[in-house]
Amino acid sequence: DAGVIQSPRHEVTEMGQEVTLRCKPISGHDYLFWYRQTMMRGLELLIYFNNNVPIDDSGMPEDRFSAKMPNASFSTLKIQPSEPRDSAVYFCASSRDRGATEAFFGQGTRLTVV
Amino acid sequence: AQKVTQAQTEISVVEKEDVTLDCVYETRDTTYYLFWYKQPPSGELVFLIRRNSFDEQNEISGRYSWNFQKSTSSFNFTITASQVVDSAVYFCARSYIPTFGRGTSLIVHP
């Protein structure tokens, strides 16, 4: 398997624009996680899915953020409208189960909102 | 919230020194798992090791070793004879939904 694939790797956008980050998890993994990494807050869990169903979105910072998983091989994280404070590295990860096995991470999307 | 604490923000050593990265966790679960990940300068997160709460045996893998002590809720990571390539940020995490510490930046000078 190619691992968790995220796109784009880098995104620069203007404040107010919509941003969509994409993730393809490892085939057969039932759990998908979206994390955000910043210097101030470290690695924060935003939302996770089990079998394509959102289970816990309590980490989503505000209503501007939304995430979907229309099928087992694709997830999106959308920010609309984007703000400069959303600038961060966003990671997608997948695992076979809720935590007994390790999560595999994508290479991340570095988002810069100017 | 059940936290994972990595008190060392940054450690700087000279090559060939041994270095220990500390991790203290909180959990209400009787069964749980602990992890260490490495984030090199290239930015990806690389899984290093997983331990379950039933197994307190120390583990050694090459230059890496891990000390898990349930009594003190600690899961420390030691690199023996450090090398420049070990320079990275190291994260400790616990299950069930992977919760990460703030990370320890290790800088190994030649």
**What pLDDT, on the 0 to 100 scale, is given for residue B96?**
84
- Other beta carbons less than 10 A from residue B51's beta carbon: 19
pLDDT digits (tens, 9 = 90+) for A37-49: 999 999 999 999 9
Min Cα distance A70 → chain B (Å) is 21
| Residue pairs spanning A and B at CB distance below 8 A | 49
Widest CA span in chain A: 40
Strands (E), chain A: 5-7, 10-13, 19-24, 31-38, 42-50, 53-56, 65-71, 74-79, 88-95, 104-105, 109-113
Residue A111 pairs in a beta bridge with A11, A88
Q: Is B57 exposed, middle or buried (0-12, 13-18, 19+ CB in 10 A)?
A: exposed
Nearest to A102 by CA among B4, B77, B51: B51
Q: Are B46 and B38 in contact (CB under 8 A)?
A: yes
Residues of chain A neighbouring B47 (CB-CB closer than 8 A): 102-104
User: How do residues A34-81 score in pLDDT, each as one tens digit?
Assistant: 999 999 999 999 999 999 999 999 999 889 999 999 999 999 999 999
Give the closest residue to A4 by CA, choosing from A102, A114, A91: A91
Tell me, yes or no, if A108 comes closer than 8 A to chain B by beta carbon: yes
> What are the percentages of helix, strand and coil residues in chain B, rounded to 5?
5, 50, 45
Query: Mind listing the pLDDT tens digit of every residue in chain B (110 residues)?
Result: 689 999 999 999 999 999 999 999 998 888 899 999 999 999 999 999 999 888 887 888 899 999 999 999 999 999 999 999 999 999 999 988 889 999 999 999 99
Spatial distance between the Cα atoms of B58 and A69, rounded to a whole number of angstroms? 39
At B72, list the tokens: 């003190």
Q: Is B95 on the interface with A (CB under 8 A)?
A: yes
User: What confidence score (pLDDT) does residue A81 get?
Assistant: 96
pLDDT at A87: 97
First to last CA, chain A: 36
Nearest CA distance, B40 vs chain A (angstrom): 11
| Residue A39: count of CB within 10 angstroms of its CB | 7
Q: What is the DSSP letter of A4?
A: -
| pLDDT class of A1 with cuts at 50, 70, 90 | low
Q: What is the pLDDT of residue A48?
A: 96
Interface touch B103/A101, C-beta < 8 Å: no
A62: Cβ contacts below 8 Å, ≥ 6 apart:
none
